[in-house]
Amino acid sequence: MPSPFPGMDPYLETPKLWPAFQHQLLACLYQNLLPGLVDRYRARVGTRSYTVETPLFTSVIREQHTEEYLEIRNRNDGKLITVVEVVSPANKTSAAGRQAYLDARHQAILQRAAVVEIDLVKQGQPLLNYSREGLPEYDYAVTVTRAYAPDRYEIYTATLQKRLPKFKLPLATDDRDALLDLQAAFSRAYDHGHFATQIDYTQPPPVDVPLTEEQKKWLDDLLRQMNCR
């Protein structure tokens, strides 16, 4: 059963579901990317870990987070070509998560690699600091940074009410970009993760997801039309 939403599903933005969703989305992006890679590249899914500390009365709760990312390397010399990141809620809401993400991004740029940031998280603060002037209102974004222009961004946006975008994934500077359909990858990830059986759409969306009153009404009307409520 597909998600009732035309694009990103805000019900996935919870600590219970996000890790599995992130894993499935990266796996589907990996599978969609492989057929378009020529023999000069190899792709793999990597992981990083960090600890988030949350004060609670007189104690501190420590949570271990493990996040996956996708990297593309030159098959001959192992040079890092492109990193694909799927931003997590912890990256945008915790100091440790934010620092772990930014450190990884910095290391990729130091290696003269391209970086693709897929941000499907509404809560928290943006990880990249660039002017939003001239951009349409959006809830989700794919931001592409090319190896030869680390201070410039190509931005593909979407709103809660619209499908997720297609975007160009950079490879080596002398090679053609790969075109990825984020909506197709999302739909496949949602299906493979069996999220329809894990989400109760009769309940409100997660309280941490900031939605406007207009978005809440649209969401409620949509779920009623889809017989989810």
pTM for the whole structure: 0.95
Domain assignment present for residue 51? The answer is yes
Count how many domains the chain has: 1
- 56 versus 67: which is more confidently predicted? 67
Torsion sign (Cα): 130, 136, 142, 148: negative
Residue 2 is assigned to a structural domain of this protein? no
Task: Tell me if 4 is assigned to some domain.
Answer: no
Q: Which structural domain range is residue 132 located in?
A: 10-225
Can you tell me whether residue 29 is helix, strand or coil? helix
Residue 8 has pLDDT above 90, yes or no: yes
Taking residue 181's Cβ as centre, other Cβ atoms within 10 Å add up to 16
Asked whether residue 29 is domain-assigned, the answer is: yes
> Is position 109 within any domain?
yes
Asked if residue 23 is part of any domain, the answer here is yes
Q: What is the pLDDT of residue 132?
A: 83
**pLDDT at residue 57 tops 80:** no
pLDDT in tens, 18-51: 999 999 999 999 999 998 888 899 999 999 999 9
d(CA 91, CA 77): 31
Residue 32 belongs to a domain = yes
Say if residue 93 is exposed, middle or buried (CB neighbours under 10 Å; 0-12, 13-18, 19+): middle
CA distances from 87 to 28, 119, 226 (A): 16, 5, 29
Query: 112-149, pLDDT tens digit by residue?
Result: 999 999 999 999 999 998 888 888 999 999 999 999 99
Which pLDDT tens digit goes with each residue over 156-173? Answer: 999 999 999 999 999 999
